[in-house]
Amino acid sequence: MKMYKIKLQQIIKRTPTIESFRFIAEERINFIPGQFLKLIFDEKNFDNKELNKYLSFSSSPTKDYIEVTKRLSESRFSEKLKNLKLGEQISTQAPLGNAIFKNEYERIGFLIGGIGITPVISIIEFIVEKKLDSRVALFYSNRTEEEIAFKQELDLWQSKNYNIKVLYAITECQPKDSKCIFGRIDKALITANTPDLKERIFFIFGPPKMVEAMKGICLELGCSEEKIKTESFIGY
């Protein structure tokens, strides 16, 4: 892990509550899809948990920028992010994390909740840009359609690559989009859409309770623990 200086290049609104922040690094940050970084707003105290936080890369390592994406809240860290000006420079430590995608993974599945989509975007964008033959099944759960981050990108990628399949699950209201289903990710949904699930590497990203529940489902369905990669996302 190394310290880098990064400069804010662009802010992109993804949903009413989620924004992406694109940075240019003074020195290229070499990371693997699925990894994350630590944004440093307090350089005098690296252990300041209020102002120095972990965020996943939401861009492919093939890009000339790095991107992180966050559901903004009233926390001090979110306020710091919101108040960043274009061209402003901050520090980051990177890369971190072992729930990574490897080129030899031919079949993968994602069981994702909310902002847990961020490392998935890095992985799928990498697969698309590298023209890999990996077969992708993404189950992506949100409370409402309005909170589906990166839907435009995901719809585009699956329209161009028949190996990429995305299923949106909406839990709090009946969706208007026919591409979305009403309900939660469960055993029936997974088995109906991934008959080859025991051959897949499963990535599970999201809130801790959701990660625990999805891992339990995978194990119940006969997936081996070695083929399940998890990261819990805690809101702040």
| pLDDT tens-digit readout, 108-128 | 999 999 999 999 999 999 999
Higher-pLDDT residue of 232, 69: 69
* Structure-token pair, residue 190: 């997974």
| Segment 26-38 mean pLDDT | 96
Residue 17 belongs to domain with CATH number: 2.40.30.10
Q: Which residue has the tokens 């965020």?
A: 55
Mean pLDDT of 4-31: 97
pTM above 0.85, yes or no: yes
Task: Please give the Cα distance from 143 to 184 (Å, whole number).
Answer: 10
The total of structural domains in the chain comes to: 2
Same domain as 54, residue 125: no
Helical segments of the chain, H only: 76-82, 117-129, 151-160, 187-193, 208-220
Structure tokens at 178: 């026919």
- pLDDT for residue 181 is more than 90: no
Answer whether residue 102 is part of any domain: no
Q: DSSP letter for 227, please.
A: G
Check the CA dihedral 137-68-75-43 and report its sign.
positive
- The per-residue pLDDT of the chain, averaged, comes to 94
The range of the structural domain enclosing residue 165 comes to 107-232
Matching residue, tokens 């909740």: 113
Q: Are 158 and 128 in contact (CB under 8 A)?
A: no
- CATH number of the domain residue 196 falls in: 3.40.50.80
